[in-house]
């Protein structure tokens, strides 16, 4: 049987992969996908804690409802973010973050 | 969940996650995210969170990633694949990840480990008894019947909490989705030159 620390380790590794992607990829769509990976890693932690800390002998459903809210807000975020990327591509003809330096000091 | 299934799904998830960064083609990255999320949904089901596992598949791999792939196809990115990588961001990313993983292992080695609490027929029947006793659920309702029969009515329990304790956040969530829809339509709408001159007059 997998223990709580196994789940926390796996979710931490997924978060680290997402963080690495955000730092080292330059394609803004891939950066956005890596953000989704980090959100999902947080979701895995929430579900693991809800299963391993029961209330009334059942999994603690407050954690899973938080996951439901996170998934819904992430879906809304993806819709708005991709619309911003499309608008960005229309005006600049690029989605490479190195080319987007007009706000650089 | 048996141990080998846990490691199988974690390997699928982490390999998919690593492939997202490794592939240069954004379409391949998007498909790796799908593989990663399928593994993650397997882990959710293994944690007896059936509802969360199903919406992970439906919302993320079904809707969100299709939207991503749709946008990648729409933008027609030809020059993006053949760019030279610079060494500085790779070093920074790898260093950051190593620091994070070292911190994580230090914290986990000191925190107490828990085995999974049992979810068998007797604990479910006890849970039903205590929930009925505290007045949370009706004694003859669907939740109590399913718990007494030894199955976990995951969707019913989440739905009950969502429409009682979390009713106001749920309504706010509906407003957020509406605002996001309107925002996405407004942002991606083509701006008309004549429309713009109208706006500057005002």
Which DSSP string corresponds to A41-94? HHHHHHHHHHHHS-BTTB--HHHHHHHHHHHHHHHHHHHHHHHHHHHHHHHHS-
Q: What are phi and psi of A55, to 5 degrees?
A: -120, 135
Cβ–Cβ pairs < 8 A, chains A and B: 241
Q: How far apart are the first and last CA of chain A?
A: 53
Q: Give percent of chain A with pLDDT exceeding 90.
A: 62
Write the CB contacts of B25 (distance below 8 Å, at least 6 apart in sequence).
B81
Q: What is the pLDDT of residue A104?
A: 80
ipTM score for this prediction:
0.92
A40 touches chain B (CB under 8 A): yes
Task: Determine the distance in angstroms separating the CA of A102 from the nearest CA of chain B, rounded to an integer.
Answer: 20
* B81 pLDDT more than 70: no
Q: What is the pLDDT of residue B173?
A: 95
Q: What is the pLDDT of residue B6?
A: 92
Residue B202 — pLDDT band, cuts 50, 70, 90?
very low
What span, in angstroms and rounded, lies between the C-alpha atoms of A75 and A26? 23
Which residues of chain B lie closer than 8 angstroms to A2, CB-CB? 1, 3, 6, 46, 116
* Nearest Cα to Cα of residue A49 among A40, A37, A62, A36: A62
Half-sphere exposure of B137 (CA within 13 A, CB side): 24
Which tens digits make up the pLDDT trace of B22-66? 988 889 999 999 999 999 999 999 999 999 999 999 998 989 999
Mean predicted lDDT score pLDDT of chain A: 90
Residue B195 — pLDDT band, cuts 50, 70, 90?
low
The more confident residue out of A51 and B202 is A51
Q: What is the pLDDT of residue B15?
A: 95
Which tens digits make up the pLDDT trace of B114-151? 888 888 778 888 877 788 877 777 777 778 888 778 78
The more confident residue out of B80 and A99 is A99
Average pLDDT value for residue range B3-7: 91
Q: What is the pLDDT of residue B93?
A: 84
Q: If you measure CA to CA, which chain A residue comes closest to B79?
A: A94
What span, in angstroms and rounded, lies between the C-alpha atoms of B192 and B160? 48
- For B82, B86, B100, the CA distances from B29, given in Å and listed in that order, are 15, 20, 23
* Closest by Cβ to B63, choosing from A27, A68, A75: A75
What span, in angstroms and rounded, lies between the C-alpha atoms of A42 and B22? 22
* pTM for this entry: 0.89
Half-sphere exposure of B83 (CA within 13 A, CB side): 20
Residue B109 exposed, middle or buried by CB count within 10 Å (0-12, 13-18, 19+): exposed
Which residues of chain A lie closer than 8 angstroms to B77, CB-CB? 27, 95
Q: What is the pLDDT of residue B137?
A: 75
Q: What are phi and psi of B118, to 5 degrees?
A: -70, 145
CB A67 within 8 A of CB A47: yes
Output DSSP code: residue B64: I
Which tens digits make up the pLDDT trace of B83-117? 666 788 788 888 988 999 999 999 999 888 888 88
A105 touches chain B (CB under 8 A): no
In degrees to the nearest 10, what's the CA dihedral of B81, B87, B91, B97? Answer: 0
Output DSSP code: residue B202: -
Q: What are phi and psi of B23, to 5 degrees?
A: -70, 140
Q: What is the pLDDT of residue A9?
A: 92
Q: Two tokens at A16?
A: 């680290």
What span, in angstroms and rounded, lies between the C-alpha atoms of B36 and A40? 10
Task: Determine the distance in angstroms separating the CA of B202 from the nearest CA of chain A, rounded to an integer.
Answer: 24
Task: Determine the distance in angstroms separating the CA of A2 from the nearest CA of chain B, rounded to an integer.
Answer: 6
């Amino acid at each position: 049987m997998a223990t709580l620390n196994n789940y926390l380790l796996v979710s931490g590794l997924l978060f680290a992969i997402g963080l690495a992607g955000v730092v080292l990829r330059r394609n803004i769509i891939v950066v956005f996908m890596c953000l989704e990976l980090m959100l999902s890693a947080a979701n895995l932690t929430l579900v693991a804690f809800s299963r391993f800390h029961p209330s009334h002998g059942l999994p603690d459903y407050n954690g899973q409802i938080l996951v439901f809210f996170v998934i819904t807000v992430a879906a809304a975020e993806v819709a708005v973010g991709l619309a911003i990327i499309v608008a960005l591509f229309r005006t600049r003809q690029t989605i490479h973050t190195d080319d987007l330096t007009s706000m650089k000091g | 969940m048996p141990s080998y299934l846990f490691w199988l799904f974690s390997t699928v998830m982490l390999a998919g996650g690593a492939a997202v960064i490794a592939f240069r083609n954004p379409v391949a990255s998007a498909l790796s995210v799908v593989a990663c999320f399928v593994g993650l949904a397997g882990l959710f089901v293994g944690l007896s969170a059936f509802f969360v596992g199903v919406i992970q598949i439906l919302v993320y791999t079904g809707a969100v990633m299709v939207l991503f792939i749709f946008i990648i196809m729409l933008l027609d990115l030809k020059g993006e694949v053949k760019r030279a990588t610079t060494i500085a961001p790779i070093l920074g990313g790898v260093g950051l990840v190593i620091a994070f993983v070292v911190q994580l292992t230090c914290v986990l080695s000191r925190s107490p480990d828990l085995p999974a609490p049992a979810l068998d027929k007797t604990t479910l029947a006890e849970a039903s008894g205590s929930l009925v006793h505290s007045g949370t659920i009706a004694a003859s309702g669907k939740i109590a019947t399913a718990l007494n029969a030894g199955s976990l009515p995951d969707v019913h329990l989440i739905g009950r909490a969502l429409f009682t304790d979390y009713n106001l956040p749920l309504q706010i969530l509906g407003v957020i989705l509406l605002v996001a829809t309107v925002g996405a339509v407004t942002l991606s709408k083509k701006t008309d030159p004549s429309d713009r001159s109208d706006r500057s007059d005002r």
